[in-house]
Structures are given as C-alpha cells and as structure tokens.
Chains A and B, each alone.
Chain A
C-alpha cells in the first residue's frame, strides 16, 4: 500500500467551476501537509502549507486537513484556465530540524476549459 494515495485524474472542468482535489494517507507520523502545483515541464511550486486539522484559505484556494480520517483536500474556487496544471499533495513527518523528507502523491492533472 502506498503511503499517499491521490486520484491521478485527469480532471476537466469549465472555467468558474469549483474544483476539489483529494489525498488520503496511511502514515500517522505525517504532521505537515502541502499542496504543490506543477506546470508542464516545470518543477513543483508550493501552493498551500498546513500543519493542523482544519481549513486554511488563501485567495481562491482552501486547504483542508482531517487527521482523524487521514484525508486532505484542496478546493479551488472560480477556477481559471491558468489553474490548468498537475496538483501534487505532499506530506512530511514530525521534524526536529529543518528539511524533512516529503512524500508525494501521484498528482492530479487538472484542465480548466475557457
């Protein structure tokens, strides 16, 4: 069983739609949860970072963590064609020093159609 499961899609939505992306995980040691966005032929870039259970909002993006269910989500409101990319969830365990290893999901490919 993979430590992090993510539906690879592809997911295609019309412009303005609300997008929901999800990951589940099995390792209880994961404490930090991130969403990365990766455009074609580019490296991943950090989109959202959360530590505790609950919601975190940043503009059109909301990250949600439910540690009891080992489930995290990313919601994109009013989706735009520029949001078309692969979205990767990533997680890391408790860290005593900086730079903890990230474990990634497989990525969900999203296309927002004008």
Chain B
C-alpha cells in the first residue's frame, strides 16, 4: 500500500512570497489533515477535510493560509504572503478510521 505522498520535500522562500504544498493521501482515505510542526514542538492541526468538505479549520490563519481538496482526493495548502514564523514542517495525514498515516512532510524555511 502506497503511503501519503507530499511535495516538495524542502522549500526556501523569502518573506512575503507565496508557496504551495501538495498532498496525495492513501487511496480510499476520506479524511485528510494538514498539520504544522514547528521545530521542537508537536504537530498542530491546521485544517481537516472529510472528502472534499472542511470539517475543522479553526486553527488555520485564514488571512494568509488557504487549502483545498478537489474531488476529495489530492489537497493543496497555500501560504500567501509568508512570514518568518511560518518556517516549519507541513505534514499531511490521511485516515480511514482512527489511525492517521503521515507523509514525510514539506520543510519550509522563510528567510
């Protein structure tokens, strides 16, 4: 079974630039999450999708972050404009029931 795929693995941008991350979940998994993990901290939920609908985006900074999940499969997370404090690993996870399977993450550095 293929795992959760994310790209790119690494990204370096200047502050105020925009960036987008892509996630392909495990086939058949209805629920998809985006988490932000700042160095030395645990993952923090940004947004949760159930199929292509948003279930929880209460912790998403909506003035600069956006996410979509077209056709209930792949998802993209966008940051525009980026700030220095957005430097983190962005993890995508998907689940069919209770176990969440994580991708390797995209490491974003904002300079």
Contact = CB atoms under 8 A, between A and B. Distances in A.
B45 A101 contact: yes
Given A32-B98, A44-B102, A104 B31 contact: no
Nearest to B107: A41
B97 to A, nearest CB: 5
Interface in A76-114: 88, 90, 92, 95, 97-107
A8 to B, nearest CB: 7
A60 interface: no
A44 B48 CA distance: 17
B45 A41 contact: no
A30 B31 CA distance: 19
Contacts, number: 65
Interface string A47-78: 00100000000000000000000000000000
B79 interface: no
Q: What range describes how many residues of A lie at the interface? A: 20 to 34
Which of B41, B43, B56 has the most A CB atoms < 10 Å from its CB? B43
Given A44-B43, A88-B42, A99-B48, A49 B99 contact: yes
A95 B31 CA distance: 13
A106 B41 contact: yes
Contacts of A32: 98
A102 B48 CA distance: 10
Interface in B37-95: 40-45, 48, 50, 55-56, 91, 93, 95
Nearest to A106: B42
A106 B104 contact: no
A32 B99 CA distance: 11
A104 B44 contact: yes
A104 B56 contact: no
Interface of A: 4, 6, 8, 32, 41-46, 49, 88, 90, 92, 95, 97-107
